[in-house]
Structure 1
Amino acid sequence: MKTPFSLLCALLFFTTAFSQSITNQLKISNGTLEGTFNQTIRIRSFKGIPYALPPIGDLRWKEPQPPANWDGVRKADHFSHMPMQKRVFADMIFRADTMSEDCLYLNVWTPAKSPKEKLPVLVYFYGGGFVGGDGSESRYDGESMAQKGIVTITINYRLGIFGFFSHPELTAESAHHASGNYGLLDQNAALKWVQANIEAFGGDPKRVTIAGESAGSISVCAQVVSPLSKDLIAGAIGESGAMIKPTLPAIPLAEGEKNGVSFAEKNGTKTLAELRAIPAAQLLDAASKPGVWRLSATVDGYFLPKSPVEIFEAGEQAHVPLLVGWNSAEIPYQAFTGGDMPTTENYAKKLKQQFPDNADEVLKLYPGTTQDEVIKSATALASDRFIVYSTWKWADLQSKTGEKPVYRYVFSSPRPPEVKPTDNANANKMPKALVGASHASEIEFAMGNLESNKVYAWTPDNYKVSALMENYFANFIKTGNPNGKGLPKWEPNTNGSKVKFMNIDVNTKLEAESERGRYLFLDKLYLK
């Protein structure tokens, strides 16, 4: 029996109308948004949503203010301005095409068909050393996570001099007698926006997990310990980084103010009004000159009442499940050996230079009896001092005082060769770096976004690892536990338990910690 033409037309009409009803409008606290609908994967997206007033003019270096209401329908179909920044990191692929001090916007991807679904929520903070990054980067795209039933959000926050400038005049004008943590306060404001608005997108404000990589992971650590944010989250994911020495630790407010005064003097500006009057591009140029200004968060007595380590030790952080880890070769061995060949002699000499009082102890922890061992140990030592130790310390402290499970991982799956490898005439003069996973290489795997990165020749094994890692993350976001059907069992760490971690690679498996001695040694150096 043939379907009548009139019935086909009716079906087409209702299908189109249904799609349009999903695509069209959604009302939040400030007004009505109109997003877009990907009919193939049934995901709605709303981009460029303001979560605070533009931090410009007199609002430069002030705590973010609630966004203004609007009349009519606001189009939410494109990414808004990226934060002010220099082009520092070549691996950042932005989809926003404008840059501005007016940057406090967020993006939402949702699979929900109605506000009643109460889906889990992921809020992702980008990395970039607090000097680069943007919520439009394709590696953070939320479509893949949304397809797993998670309302996914990326946010923009102020960077560099705009996000972390401290000054006595700023402290004096603040109602909280604080200055310097504007980028972190932006993140807090975004979390407050989520609490107020996420139900409209089908999300559950009681099931919000925050995640991030590098500076994004440091941000997660900071939000977990801040009294302003710790009650706004149900879980946390940290990928390589914590706000613990030596990885961008927060400094005393007085020290941050001193840095700010020094910058103002070098820049020839005498008052806060003069500093606020400097055009954004000019201010970015001035602050980007080497040695002119030092970026750091501050222990300001407001966002951070104490250092993160002190807060963890006192058990005053958010008591939520934590999934945290790092990559197997965060930075290459040359970060420690410099331009010297990685011979046993050169390695021993470098150890004595760097650790004059305990070189022998370091050599036992990071042995170097052959060139291969030197490369392996120098990679480990460089990575530990860069970002691994701080991440380990976070995991260790949280397992002792956080009262919730801590799931640790090491990501060991290296990227494949580039599609069009660069021709480097010096590539064969030094031994190749240790094969492993470099800093930031896990992001596309964890967020299910390998396909969007056209730089690398991804293999079936890469997609296998990505599927596994994304499923672990998705399960954790939904339940606080990464385990699920078809995945190797991941045991959590709690105080007093034998530490285990998931080694994520083609052959993913749970392993016992064997490097604790290295981290306890670094403890003595960094937490004197």
Structure 2
Amino acid sequence: MMRTDRKDLVQQVPRWWLPAVAGSLIVLGCGGGGGGGGGGGGGNGGGGAGENGSVPPVAEVQPWLKGTFAGGPVSGLNYSGSATGARTTDADGQYEYVAGETLSFSIGALPLGSAAGFGSLSPLSISEGAASTADPQVINKLVLLQTLDADGDLNNGIQITDVVRDTVSKYATALDFKQSSTAFRTSLTKLLADLEQAKAFTDLDPRARTARTAAAAQEQFIRATSARQVVTTTGGSLRGFESSPSTWQFLGIPYAQPPIGDLRWRAPLPAKPWNGVREATAWSDQAAQTTALERFGEGGMSEDSLYLNVTAPKSASKLPVMVWFHGGGFTSLTSNTKPFNNAKALVTQGVVQVAVNQRLGPFGYIAHPTLSAESGYGGSGNYGQMDLIMALQWVKANIAAFGGDPDNVTIFGESGGGRKVLSLMASPRASGLFHKAISQSGTLIPDTRTLASAEAIGLALQKRLNATSIEEMRARPWPEVVAAAATLVPYTNIDQHYLPNSERVSFESRTHNDVPFLGVVNTNDTVDPIQTAKSVFPWMAQYSVSPHYTALFSQVPGGWRTRGVQTYHSGELAYVFNAPESVVTHYLLDLVIDPATNKKLVIGDLNGNGVTGSAGDTQDILTSAGIDGVDLQAVQNSMAIWTQFARSGSPTVPGLVDWPTYTPATDAYVELGATPLVKSGFSNVFP
């Protein structure tokens, strides 16, 4: 159930006067005037207990008010007032005050600022003279508070513990909120080192805590203080935020328990329910992988990554659902990116979108003889695929609360995500959890790796870790495991559970998940997706009753188009997700190829700042791409086609394209360039 959060942050909590507790009340006007002329009882002045026969006035009780320190909320924050005294905000980030009272906030001995008591205060409202979050002192307070969160999960609120307060107090005179954000972050280095030494942080990333960036801190605050929406799920209530005037978004929703400790290399378990309302404004961690790739996503990085994001139109009711699996092979990258969760993209076409993170690399796909022996089904590996299945089970149970239709779910993914889509089509464990599928530059190898060969990779990892047992391997920090697995290439295997048979057997026996399918490949794609398009798409179609469709994506940004660049691997993402700026990431990942050299496109210093695009200047890269009106129209076309397929099982869009079904006999496809073109001869597209 979705409802607008109408919780009033200003709660009046009157503590009614009782003689027995009068001493604890805040009393105004305790004095009293004389009442009556003189004389004793029965006289003109009336009888009374006062010296002059007057009746004492009734005490006027000032009710307590409650407020929340917003942007977190922040628990364990010191505050004080003339009536309130010295206290700390409670577990919900709430404080008490009386009307007209000024509250001062601090972290231990480090003052943060003061403001008149109100139902919602924040680093902005307590910073003297600050007009917006762009003020350096506001930015720096946001950076500090978010950096100091004990468990690193901002969706649990910001938790300031005793050890944090005590340690921060030692730096009370050293921290200057009015300096630049860069200088302020640098000034936190020694404080953070001391907090690490004191074991103040309980998050699951063994790396040393670093200061939040100014941009990330501001964005988090804006999300947390926007209009809010509460949804009830099987795990508990979630409070999302307004990501656009017409869209609600929920970030970091747990769909499984953290696969850590003894749960490393086991099938996922459903997330544990929580009490109260969980915030859904902060990115979860990206899956553990090579840390150099962390900069391409949002959030931190750890094994605690089994979370998903939901973006839904405010008016959503039984809309088609599109569940996204990111690329990066089976080892890299994340769904925690702004393009993949763009409120101005697919959801504007009347769908609910889900973006899933799952275990990758050695944590998601390693098999091992000991793991097979303890699994209960005689196999191991494929944990990342099982994560995706659990995410789809979560969607089936909960997406109606966000306005989605659990009986109309499309899974789609690019590159490694496309490969995950194709593999799920072959798994009986995924039966009934999705109803349509899109693979963009995905790869399927019908003759799936055997369990024995997958276990051999696990044994190789054990040797590299110099571990004597699985227990030792489970105890190793994740960065150590990632480093040891650097040249190993784990992926799906016949584990007797997720895949009882090879993908070939699944399709040829017609026991696969037979759903409408759209296969997409790019004009200058990499070898494996091209081979899949040439050989596997025809093979899949002949064993399927549901319609199959094929597409050749040929659109490329205008500036690169004039240089002869063809649509590279992942090139369609900028169009499907209405994110032309994402071509910068594609370039930085070395995907944009110059046809003249067959190497990375060379981009000069186009803005004259002394740094070339080839050296990583993002403005030069975007300028070089030269997004034009043709590209913007291709964005609209792509979003219309993808969502129409999700809606109906056919990519035909009236007035835009009448898409023929694909069979080996018809060999029909649609080229997606400036305008969609129906063509034949798909088998001849690639030599």
Structure 1 residue 110 and structure 2 residue 110: aligned?
no
Q: Shift of the alpha carbon at 1:483?
A: 1.2
The 3 A distance-change label for structure 1 pair 308 and 142 is farther
The one of 241, 246, 259 aligned to 1:36: 241
Rounded to whole Å, the distance in 2 between the matches of 1:517 and 1:212 is 22
Corresponding letter in the other structure for 1:410: L
Rounded to whole Å, the distance in 1 between the matches of 2:257 and 2:360 is 16
**Structure 1 counterpart SS, 2:267:** coil
Partner of 2:544: 402
Native 8 Å contact 1:93 1:138 kept in 2:
no
Partner of 2:649: 480
Alignment of 1:65-76 (within 5 A): 65-76=269-280
TM-score for the superposition, normalised by structure 1: 0.76
Whose Rg is larger? 2
Instruction: Indicate the percent of aligned positions where both proteins have the same amino acid.
Output: 31
Partner of 2:405: 204
Structure 1 residue 250 and structure 2 residue 448: aligned?
yes
Structure with greater helix percent = 1
Native 8 Å contact 1:237 1:323 kept in 2:
yes
**Structure 2 counterpart SS, 1:110:** strand
**Structure 1 counterpart SS, 2:432:** helix
Native 8 Å contact 1:142 1:153 kept in 2:
no
Q: Shift of the alpha carbon at 1:398?
A: 2.9
Deviations 1:87-146 (A, max 9, x none): 5669x731x2310110000000011436xx211100000000111111112231242111
Native 8 Å contact 2:365 2:382 kept in 1:
yes
Partner of 1:501: 669
Native 8 Å contact 1:220 1:238 kept in 2:
yes
The one of 321, 326, 329 aligned to 2:521: 326
Alignment of 1:284-363 (within 5 A): 284-288=482-486, 290=487, 293-331=488-526
RMSD: 2.3
Corresponding letter in the other structure for 2:274: W
Native 8 Å contact 1:139 1:453 kept in 2:
no
Partner of 1:393: 535
Partner of 1:101: 303
Q: List gaps (5 residues or longer) in structure 2.
A: 1-224, 585-621
Q: How many residues are matched?
A: 422
Could you list the structure 1 runs, at least 4 aligned residues long, displaced by more than 3 angstroms after superposition.
87-90, 391-394, 415-418, 451-456, 514-519
Q: List gaps (5 residues or longer) in structure 1.
A: 1-19, 332-382, 419-431, 520-528
**Structure 1 counterpart SS, 2:268:** coil
Native 8 Å contact 1:218 1:241 kept in 2:
yes
Partner of 2:440: 239
**Structure 2 counterpart SS, 1:173:** helix
The 3 A distance-change label for structure 1 pair 215 and 280 is same
Corresponding letter in the other structure for 2:683: E
The one of 249, 256, 260 aligned to 2:458: 260
Native 8 Å contact 1:88 1:132 kept in 2:
no
Q: Shift of the alpha carbon at 1:297?
A: 1.6
Structure 1 residue 513 and structure 2 residue 681: aligned?
yes
Partner of 1:336: none
Rounded to whole Å, the distance in 2 between the matches of 1:415 and 1:39 is 26
Deviations 1:130-166 (A, max 9, x none): 1111111223124211111101000001111111111
Moved more, 306-315 or 231-240: 306-315
Q: Shift of the alpha carbon at 1:208?
A: 0.3
The 3 A distance-change label for structure 1 pair 22 and 486 is farther
Structure with greater strand percent = 2
**Structure 1 counterpart SS, 2:524:** coil
Partner of 2:632: 463
Deviations 1:153-197 (A, max 9, x none): 000011111111110010011022221101111101100110111
Native 8 Å contact 1:250 1:296 kept in 2:
no
Rounded to whole Å, the distance in 2 between the matches of 1:137 and 1:243 is 25
Relative contact order, higher structure (CA 8 A, sep 6+) = 1
Partner of 1:526: none
Partner of 1:490: 659
Rounded to whole Å, the distance in 2 between the matches of 1:172 and 1:74 is 38
The one of 444, 453, 463 aligned to 2:574: 444
**Structure 2 counterpart SS, 1:403:** coil
Partner of 1:427: none
**Structure 2 counterpart SS, 1:503:** strand
TM-score for the superposition, normalised by structure 2: 0.59
The 3 A distance-change label for structure 1 pair 516 and 308 is farther
Partner of 1:283: 481
Native 8 Å contact 1:23 1:37 kept in 2:
yes
**Structure 2 counterpart SS, 1:251:** coil
Moved more, 177-186 or 259-268: 259-268
Partner of 1:135: 335
Deviations 1:283-314 (A, max 9, x none): 112212x4xx3322211111111111221122
The one of 386, 391, 395 aligned to 1:190: 391
Native 8 Å contact 2:325 2:412 kept in 1:
yes
Corresponding letter in the other structure for 2:300: T
